[in-house]
Amino acid sequence: MTELLVSLKNVHKRYGGSTVLSEVNLELRKGECLLLRGGNGQGKSTLLKLLAGLIAPTSGERIIVGSPPPVIGYAPDRLAGLAMTSADYLRHMGRIAGIEPRTLQPRILELHERFRLDPANKTNMRHYSKGMLQKVNMMQASLREPDLLLLDEPFSGLDKASVEHLLSSLQAVQQIGTAIVVAVHGDIPAEYLLYRTLLVRNGELFLEQEQEQEEGVRAKGSPQREVRYEVKSKLDERQVNRLELSFPAVQLAPEDDGCYCCFIPESGLQRFIAELLEAGGILLSLQRQEEEGKQ
């Protein structure tokens, strides 16, 4: 399995007399994406804050793995419109986070470019739209190139094009090995992201699904294309079981020559290969396929 970053072991959280989370056990690994779904007041934000280390469990443990420990970026559910520009805000936050000025400035420019905001915009953030504030919120969380990115309702206030753009940015972030946890109310059109979904209900976590979408995130007007990889490998039974457990949505089909073949969407390839090799499997061939997607 890929590297463990953070785990919660038998965590309970109470506010006053009321229990918000009970017996939460959760492991987050490099490069994975976890969607936390649930209605209002079910405990999603509380869980994100526990993972971020911003609040302590009432009982149970939060374990951080690695030396140096993983960098964690956290974007709360909303950012207040402050009387400063986005670049000034990020400069402040970067200094507080201990980023050196010569690294900070290019990082701020890069994040403005990634989230399509103008770094030279002199407008105060208090005049920003909800969507623009949401972007600055995520830029703040991404300042230190986090190993784990925790996002609370990042899509609220974003129009369709911005949601699609954010999803493709998250895909790029996941592909370089960053783990992402996103709290949302409903479903998200998370094409290309390989993720598993946990439902937070009455303080407990329920595994919903591991989702693998093969349709691409599409820029308006561009042709719709699906990219996937045909992976052929030599695996024993134990290795097949391990891969099936980690990637329930992927079918490992036995071939006549005793090898296994499966199709992996581009977004999940890196994680799948890492797991296959770590389990001791032998990679025989990898073939890229690109075809017209369905309308």
Ligand X SMILES: Nc1ncnc2c1ncn2[C@@H]1O[C@H](COP(=O)(O)OP(=O)(O)OP(=O)(O)O)[C@@H](O)[C@H]1O
Q: Which residues bind ligand X (CB under 6 A)?
A: 15, 20, 38, 40-46, 77
Which CB sits closer to ligand X, 51 or 264?
51
Q: Pick between residue 186 and residue 223 the one whose CB is nearest to ligand X.
A: 186
> Token pair for residue 154?
């990042």
| Backbone region of residue 278 per phi and psi (left: phi > 0; alpha: psi in -120 to 50; beta: other values) | alpha
Q: Phi/psi zone of residue 43: left (φ > 0), alpha (ψ -120 to 50 degrees), beta?
A: left
Min dist CB 23 to ligand X, Å, is 16
| The amino acid at 168 | S
- Shorter beta-carbon distance to ligand X: residue 136 or 183: 183
Q: What amino acid occupies position 153?
A: E
CB of 209: closest distance to ligand X in angstroms? 19
Q: Tell me the closest approach of the beta carbon of residue 36 to ligand X, in angstroms.
A: 8
For the record, the structure tokens of 115 come out as: 């989230």
Judge whether 289 and 256 are in contact, CB under 8 Å. no
Supply the minimum distance, in Å, between the C-beta of residue 113 and ligand X.
30
The token pair at 229 is 């990889």
Nearer to ligand X, 44 or 228 (CB): 44
Q: Which residues contact 41 (CB under 8 A, 6 or more apart)?
A: none
Which residues are bridge partners to 64 per DSSP?
Answer: 6
45 vs 233 by CB, closer to ligand X: 45
Q: Least separation, in Å, of the C-beta of 185 and ligand X? A: 6
β-pair partners for 69: none
Please give the DSSP secondary-structure letter assigned to residue 83.
S
Shortest spacing between CB 167 and ligand X, in angstroms: 20
CB closer to ligand X out of 71 and 199:
199
Question: What's the closest the beta carbon of residue 153 comes to ligand X, in angstroms?
Answer: 7
> Which of residues 16 and 106 has its CB atom nearest to ligand X in the complex?
16
Helix (H, G, I), strand (E, B) or coil at 179: strand
- Residue 114 C-alpha from the chain's centroid: 16
Q: What share of the chain is helix, strand, coil (3-state, %, to 5)?
A: 30, 35, 35
Nearer to ligand X, 49 or 218 (CB): 49
Backbone angles phi, psi at 285, to 5 degrees: -160, 155
Phi, psi angles (nearest 5°) of residue 198: -115, 135
Minimum CB–partner distance for residue 182 and ligand X (Å): 12
For residue 68, is the peptide bond before it cis, meaning its omega torsion is within 30 degrees of 0?
Answer: yes
